[in-house]
Amino acid sequence: MNRFKISRQADRDLEDMWVYLAQNDSLTADLLLAKVLDKFPMLAQFPEMGRSRKELSEELRSFPVKPYIIFYKNMETHIEIVRILHHSRDIENQF
């Protein structure tokens, strides 16, 4: 498996991340966005790489891309990118 789908919420998370970072430096925003996006195919190919997050949701996994965390679910034919959150956020209240 090497397919991934990005949820609407995760897409908004990516946009919010870029807008926030670009206020100070659009190059940094571009680089971090690329770094996060580059992880999606890798996670789709090796979905067990991420840490199980059953305490948040039954099939949820996470993978850090500092200072952000990618949250995803391993589906039968693909992974679904659920959220991309800054590590300092109240993660438990997001799920």
How high is the pLDDT of residue 45? 94
* Mean pLDDT, range 16-25, rounded to an integer: 96
59-66 contacts: CB < 8 A, separation 24 or more?
60/95, 63/39, 65/32, 65/35, 65/36, 65/39
Query: Residue 23 has what DSSP assignment?
Result: T
What does the block give as tokens for 7?
Answer: 């949820």
- CATH 1.25.10.10 at 4-88, yes or no: no
How high is the pLDDT of residue 91? 84
pLDDT in tens, 31-90: 999 999 999 999 999 999 999 999 988 899 999 999 999 999 999 899 999 999 999 888
Q: What is d(CA 14, CA 85) in angstroms, rounded to the nearest whole number?
A: 9
Report pTM.
0.92
How high is the pLDDT of residue 1? 61
Is the pLDDT at 9 greater than 80? The verdict is yes
Q: What is d(CA 1, CA 83) in angstroms, rounded to the nearest whole number?
A: 20
